Amino acid sequence: MHRPGCDRAGGTGWLVFNSAGQLLRRFLDTNGDNKIDQWCYYKNGIEVYRDIDSNQNGKADQYRWLGTGGTRWGLDDNEDGRIDRWKVISAEEVSAEVVAALRTADEKRFQRLLLGSEELKALGLGEVQATELAKKNRRGRPVLRRLGQTPDGGGQGFGVDQFRGESSLPRARRI
């Protein structure tokens, strides 16, 4: 079921509800040009994901995940459907991204988590500290390459089983 129109100030669009009346989707034209520029997705009535076309060219260029387990706001500068950098990412989501990058030996995914030169500058650190952090960022790349290699030298990722939640340690027994 859908209902045209929205009660959001400055925008019109469509709301999609399930048979119980719970909101599932919201598609909005936020600037009045009669083109959808915001796609929102809900789970149990709470928004969990949003695509945004911030430059109104018909392509999503921002992706936001919202939730109690962490939040991410990715930017797709060249609008190729892949996140180029993170505007906001919670510690929980950084951890998940690092594990995914290691598991798949995805250097670009790992690099997106490191501070760029503009971000380092925005921190207001002194030149010595900013230079040191930039060096650490550069050192992170070869470390990921080494961790992403299997013992035979292949690039299949870092111990996939280690990141499936399966422990190689003996299980505790109840006594």
> Do residues 2 and 85 share a domain?
yes
Final residue belonging to a domain, choices 43, 73, 89: 89
> Do residues 84 and 99 share a domain?
no
pLDDT at position 153 over 70: no
- What percent of the chain lies above the pLDDT cut of 90? 43
pLDDT at position 161 over 80: no
Final residue belonging to a domain, choices 89, 112, 129: 89
The tens digit of pLDDT for each residue in 48-61 reads 999 999 999 999 99
Q: What is the pTM of this model?
A: 0.70
DSSP single-letter state for residue 30 = S
> Do residues 60 and 39 share a domain?
yes
Can you give the pLDDT at residue 106? 86
pLDDT band at 10 (very low <50, low <70, confident <90, very high): low
pLDDT at position 113 over 70: yes
What is the domain count for the chain? 2
> Do residues 109 and 35 share a domain?
no
Average pLDDT, the chain: 79
Final residue belonging to a domain, choices 68, 89, 110: 89
CATH number reported for the structural domain that contains residue 44 in this entry: 3.90.930
Can you give the pLDDT at residue 67? 86
> Do residues 76 and 139 share a domain?
no
> Do residues 82 and 2 share a domain?
yes
Ramachandran sector of residue 79 (left: φ over 0; alpha: ψ -120 to 50; beta: rest): left
- Of the two residues 46 and 9, the one the predictor is more confident about is 46
pLDDT band at 143 (very low <50, low <70, confident <90, very high): low
Can you give the pLDDT at residue 168? 36
Domain with 147, as residue range(s), is: 95-162
Crossing angle of helices 91-104 and 127-147, rounded to 10°: 40
- 3-state SS of 82-127 is CCCEEEEECHHHHHHHHHHHHHHCCHHHHHCCCCCHHHHHHCCCCH
